[in-house]
Structure 1
Amino acid sequence: MKFVLKLLLIILLSTPLIFIGVVYLSVAQEPIVEPGGSTLSPRDITKAKNLLKQHDPRSLRNGQIKNLILDSKELNLLGNYLINSLNGHLIVTLNDKILKLQSSFQIPPNKLENYLNLSLLAQQNGDLITIRELQIGNLNLPNWISNLIVKQLLLFLQTAEPTRPFSQSLQSVRITDQQLIVRYKWNPDLLHVARKQFISTEEQERLYHYQKRLIKISNQPNLGRKVSLNHYLNGLFNDARKRSDSNNPVEENRAVLIVLGQHLSGHGHRLLFPETAHLHPARKKITLSERHDFAQHYMISAALSAIGDSQLADLIGLQKELSDSNRSSGFSFTDLAADRAGNYLGKVATESEKSARAVQKFFHFHPKETDYMPSVKGLPEGISARAFKTQYGSVNSEQFNQVEKQIQQRLKETAFYTQTENY
């Protein structure tokens, strides 16, 4: 009996030491994946957007079986976007039915180190995927432990309330030579579940509030068919300013930009806000510098930037123009200027409480459009793909960079930039 008690005492006393040892081995001073280590091109963005179109919930039937097929570039795009809010970066490669994942997460400063590094090697064996290697920091886990962890994690996902509907929809996952194939069965209820589980009640309330406010603005009497974006920015940011007396101004601003960006994207509000399905905003042509496309570019970029990825917002704007170069509209540096200006709005409106309040104050005083939209006079537009290649070569050329620098300089000369750059 004394031996048992002594053994129990040793285990109890050593457990904290074991835990400290595991933590010590799990963190590192340097990341194995540097920020920006997985670079994305406008072409990658095009592929991702086409992928999203193929799996647009509005075009799927209840019970429809779909295959989501991802190559390594698409996995990197999706993965980095999903973990961006966690201060994480990853690189995924696929080869010979083996998936290799390396990721680094920056953790809050502490007395140990500052990065959590994760390496994973998974292989397709028949109908099963097995873990060949799992390393957390400097801690190498035996394969049997790695596979046990994965098995328990899958069991948890299948039974936990937030993730069970998604697990039930999942049919299979396979690793091929160059692709990851996810087979799923579509259930329209997943949208409602996702909104309920992954968007907090407070955020849902904010988004719903500003959506109703946007509809109210659109339905104002004596408002013409053509309306300046100023009218919406002033009304919504004024509302955000009042609500920020008792709420976080960053979150209020983010909700404003998401709602307005969603509205100008043309996708409608019913998918994101089914509660407002009975509300019908008057059809308005919202313009910026007398152009509807400028208002679209400006607000969609602002919304993308506000949700946490200004680099992605820049890339999507650039991709849109490269795509247009193959169409009748052509590549437009004027549209790119609207993208860059919107990106800056989204960034500064959500960077800190101080900058968020500065943005609210700016739009409270009814600024002119030229106060936040840079001049596009003389900027080339309507450039065909052939002409673009002849004149600029690529988006990395010196000729292209010169025009981009000109756009950036014009943005810096706006009243909005000069009043917010120090926040």
Structure 2
Amino acid sequence: MMKRVFRWLLGLFLALLMLVLVAVVAIGVAAVQKHPLVESNASNQLDGADSVNALLSQLNSAFSEREEGHTIVLSEMQIESLVGVLQRAAPNFRGVVNVTRFGGTVAFTFSPNNYDIYINVSALILPGDALKIDTITLGDLSLPGNMVVGFVETAINVWTRSKIASLALSRIEAVSMRENEVSLQIGPLDELLVELNTVSNNLSIDADNELQDLTAYYLRYISGRELALSPKPMPLIEYLREGMARARERSETAEEAVLHNKAVIFALAALVGHHRVGHLVGDIQPNPDKAIKPRAPAILVERNDLARHFIISAALELLGEQGVSLAIGEFKELMDRAQGGTGYSFVDLAADMAGAEFARVARSPDRAKELQNAMARVQSDSDIMPAIEGLPEGLSKQGFIQQYQQVDSELYLQEVKEIKRRLATITLYAAD
């Protein structure tokens, strides 16, 4: 009798397993298509990058006045620009947004490397007293928006072991639309930001507690050294030399060298770049109410802005895939074309690209210890930063368009190619 029951349960289990496998395969086949839904051009979308400054100003007010409600107005151009930078960072991604007074559509296409297939997704968002997604289409599948949002909400809450997704959705009190514009009525963000900080710290601890601890250690160590206490600006190479010398003392294996190199870069990005970069690693500040800063700013080629571009770009490169830091740096320069900005600068872009190259070597198991040794011999900025003579900067939006039209134009790519050529002459970044 028991054997018969066992065989029956086993047969039922196998039957259910087969049904699940068939369903998964069917969904996979329905989700994958042979033609892309979106064929947008990132360079065209990035033409409006300078308009994002107004959006950032609104967000800054919402964060600083976190106990009050706010209305955030997003133009279609601003949203398209943000989608454009995603496309620059992930070339296999394409996205497009369209907003009317009746609703907004968001569509994107993803194509895996080396495969002539496409995953197409679109969603219809409706105005209302909350975030209302009418329909989400995945390939040939059409799913109720509320069901998908509920699933994603639950998944995020479970993953973060919090109610962060539910809390974020509850902050959206109303959505209104008109041609090419969306208005979000959001409630006070104080509770959400507190929860977000807690979740961020918990996730970073779960992901790499050792990296967080080492970053906090190097932040304290370098900030206590003489160069950080100097009343005059000190070269970034001195900060790097100080950090990498200590990292070399504490690294025995190649794997340890990679870990310590990363910690030094993240610590310096928080110290001489911007303290908020440290949040990407976790809670690294000894005093959460007052971030550690050097007495005077760090400089690279006698400029503080280049030192910050270099080290923040290096930190971003460690966090993402190759090209992410360049896309972000490029986007920042496009934003600077706005009136009152510093203008588009290929000099800044060169510092971004140099920082990314430095990070690439620092995280390579084959070259991590080599970098530690090389920093002990560094004599000048030219050992980590390419020459900047002749690189255009301070270009307004009008001046940029007149000279280069847009990113990815032939003339623009020639400037980027020239920066890469100069980077290739730096021994530290030379390919294996």
TM-score bracket for the superposition, by shorter chain length: 0.7 to 0.9
Alignment-mate amino acid for residue 258 of structure 1: F
Alignment-mate amino acid for residue 374 of structure 1: P
> For 1:345 and 1:64, how far apart are their aligned partners in 2?
43
1:227 aligns with 2:234: yes
Q: Which has the higher mean CA deviation after the structures are superposed, 336-345 or 89-98?
A: 89-98
1:99 aligns with 2:100: no
Q: Deviation string for 1:345-380 (max 9, x for gaps)?
A: 234434x43354544443354454212211223434
Residues 200-279 of structure 1: pairs in structure 2 closer than 5 A: 200-201=205-206, 203=208, 206-221=211-226, 224=230, 225-241=232-248, 242-243=250-251, 245=253, 250-267=258-275, 273-277=284-288
Alignment-mate amino acid for residue 64 of structure 1: E
Q: Which has the higher mean CA deviation after the structures are superposed, 293-302 or 379-388?
A: 379-388
C-alpha contact (below 8 Å) 2:46/2:85 kept by paired residues: no
2:16 alignment counterpart: 15
1:337 alignment counterpart: 350
Tell me by how many angstroms 1:50 deviates.
4.6
Structure 1 residues 294 and 116, CA, compared in 2 at 3 Å: closer, same or farther?
A: same
Tell me by how many angstroms 1:412 deviates.
0.8
Alignment-mate amino acid for residue 23 of structure 2: V
> For 1:80 and 1:243, how far apart are their aligned partners in 2?
40
Tell me by how many angstroms 1:325 deviates.
8.0
TM-score where L is the length of structure 1: 0.74
Alignment-mate amino acid for residue 119 of structure 2: N
Tell me by how many angstroms 1:159 deviates.
8.1
Structure 1 residues 123 and 284, CA, compared in 2 at 3 Å: closer, same or farther?
A: closer
1:162 alignment counterpart: 161
Structure 1 residues 129 and 250, CA, compared in 2 at 3 Å: closer, same or farther?
A: same
Q: Which has the higher mean CA deviation after the structures are superposed, 299-308 or 233-242?
A: 233-242
Structure 1 residues 11 and 132, CA, compared in 2 at 3 Å: closer, same or farther?
A: farther
Secondary structure in 1 aligned to 2:42?
coil
Tell me by how many angstroms 1:207 deviates.
3.6
Alignment-mate amino acid for residue 269 of structure 2: G
Structure 1 residues 116 and 226, CA, compared in 2 at 3 Å: closer, same or farther?
A: same
Tell me by how many angstroms 1:87 deviates.
10
Alignment-mate amino acid for residue 117 of structure 1: I
Q: Deviation string for 1:248-287 (max 9, x for gaps)?
A: 6555444433332233334568976453346754412312
Tell me by how many angstroms 1:310 deviates.
4.8
Q: Deviation string for 1:108-164 (max 9, x for gaps)?
A: x9xxx99783634334275466655445455x3564xx6445445546667886341
User: Percentage identity across aligned positions?
Assistant: 22
1:415 aligns with 2:421: no
1:186 alignment counterpart: 189
Q: Deviation string for 1:73-94 (max 9, x for gaps)?
A: 6556667989999998462533
Tell me by how many angstroms 1:56 deviates.
3.6
Structure 1 residues 135 and 406, CA, compared in 2 at 3 Å: closer, same or farther?
A: closer
> For 1:327 and 1:258, how far apart are their aligned partners in 2?
30
> For 1:387 and 1:78, how far apart are their aligned partners in 2?
22
Secondary structure in 2 aligned to 1:55?
helix
- Number of aligned pairs? 409
Q: Which has the higher mean CA deviation after the structures are superposed, 379-388 or 252-261?
A: 379-388
Mark the runs of 5 or more structure 1 residues left unpaired by the alignment.
none
> For 1:46 and 1:328, how far apart are their aligned partners in 2?
9
RMSD: 4.6
Structure 1 residues 54 and 348, CA, compared in 2 at 3 Å: closer, same or farther?
A: farther
Tell me by how many angstroms 1:244 deviates.
7.0
> For 1:270 and 1:405, how far apart are their aligned partners in 2?
32
Alignment-mate amino acid for residue 126 of structure 2: Q
> For 1:261 and 1:331, how far apart are their aligned partners in 2?
22
C-alpha contact (below 8 Å) 1:269/1:276 kept by paired residues: no
1:303 aligns with 2:312: no
> For 1:31 and 1:275, how far apart are their aligned partners in 2?
53
Tell me by how many angstroms 1:186 deviates.
1.1
C-alpha contact (below 8 Å) 2:326/2:353 kept by paired residues: yes
Structure 1 residues 76 and 214, CA, compared in 2 at 3 Å: closer, same or farther?
A: same
C-alpha contact (below 8 Å) 1:45/1:316 kept by paired residues: no
Secondary structure in 2 aligned to 1:64?
coil
